[in-house]
Amino acid sequence: MPVPVHGEREAETRVLRGLRLALELSLVVLVIEAVGAYFSHSLSVTVDAVHNVPDLFAFAMSWAALQATERGTSGEFTFGPHRLEVFAGLLNAALVLGTGLVFGFAAVEALSRGAPFAGPVDPFWIVLVALPTLALRGANLSVLGRLPGRARDLNLRSVLTHLGSDVAITGALLVAGGLLLAEPSLAWVDPAATLAIAAILAYESFPLFRDGWDVLTERIPRNLSVGEIERAARGVPKVEEIHDVHVWAVCPTLVCMTAHVRVGEMSVREGMEVVDALRDRMAEQFGILHAVFQVETSEGSARGGERSAARPTRS
């Protein structure tokens, strides 16, 4: 039977509602931009419209991954299905990068030919599409950006990165449309805007690839340091030494560690009190939600046992 997940509840109602809103608003944006791309003959509007398709897929995957974590742990998945979030974030990054590369090539080709993508560009439609798109994306980013504590999660961070870059892309559309309205002869503006959009898409994908790689290779989270963790542990009363420290992340919101801790001669009960103090220090100072300590006496014999922490980060 599933049991509650360690650490933060990964499928908070507000998060799921926010992701569903992102999915719904992105669908509206897709319809608006598809109409705009047809009437404007603009490559920049077309790339943004096509870019909404992987966005929809990405938001749907993120929502599904968070739904899965709500089921908790089981005998088969003892940490729960947290890694689904990491794979969702990596797939999101791959979709965004692929879109950027394909349309970046199309933009370079259009610039080299000196010819428009699909006939003369109508800047009126570019501006007409960009204004409501900017409003919808801004509202979407505002709602998800206010979700407390979730921005550390790779899955949700990939969605926030998507939306942040989408707002920047819409700004590029507005600039391109405004320039073409002022001077229709600037045919290079539209493919140049497309190239800028492709660069934004490629840029946003790299941190997501890096963070996903860090989790899958069990690298210590980049905001943590083994040295600082060891110093904090030695600051706990009765701790003489800490060694064999291992720190990794199941997903960015669930950081785990194991360590051997040396203490003076004491009872098992006193040793467990030291473990409790260490767990609290790790959770409060570093957000490490699952810490396992083996307590040893100064003579090197084990006196304690393994104890795991499953407490949420205190705010």
**Both 39 and 168 in a single domain?**
yes
Query: Is 165 domain-assigned?
Result: yes
Contacts of 119 (CB under 8 A, 6+ apart): 41
**Dihedral angle, C-alpha 50, 52, 173, 201, nearest 10 °:** -90
The answer to whether residue 133 is domain-embedded is yes
Give 6-55 pLDDT, tens digit per residue.
Answer: 444 444 566 677 777 778 888 898 999 999 988 988 888 988 888 788 77
Q: Kindly report the pTM of this predicted structure.
A: 0.67
* Residue 148 located in a structural domain: yes
Assess whether pLDDT exceeds 90 at residue 236: yes
* 90 pLDDT above the threshold of 50: yes
| Residue that finishes a domain, picked among 177, 197, 216 | 216
Residues 209 and 231 in one domain: no
Q: What is the largest CA-CA distance in the chain?
A: 85
Question: For residue 5, is it within any domain?
Answer: no
Give pLDDT tens digits for 138-193.
888 887 777 655 434 555 666 677 778 888 889 889 999 999 999 888 888 888 98
Rounded to 10 deg, the angle between the 83-113 and 189-216 helix axes is: 160
Number of folded domains that form the chain: 2
Higher pLDDT pick, 144 / 244: 244
CATH code where residue 73 lies: 1.20.1510.10
Same domain (yes/no): 244, 135: no
| Nearest alpha-carbon partner for 7 in 292, 250, 312 | 312
d(CA 3, CA 73): 5
- Tracing tokens 């064999």 back to the chain, one arrives at 244
Which carries the bigger pLDDT value, residue 235 or residue 76?
235
Q: 136 lies in which domain range?
A: 13-216
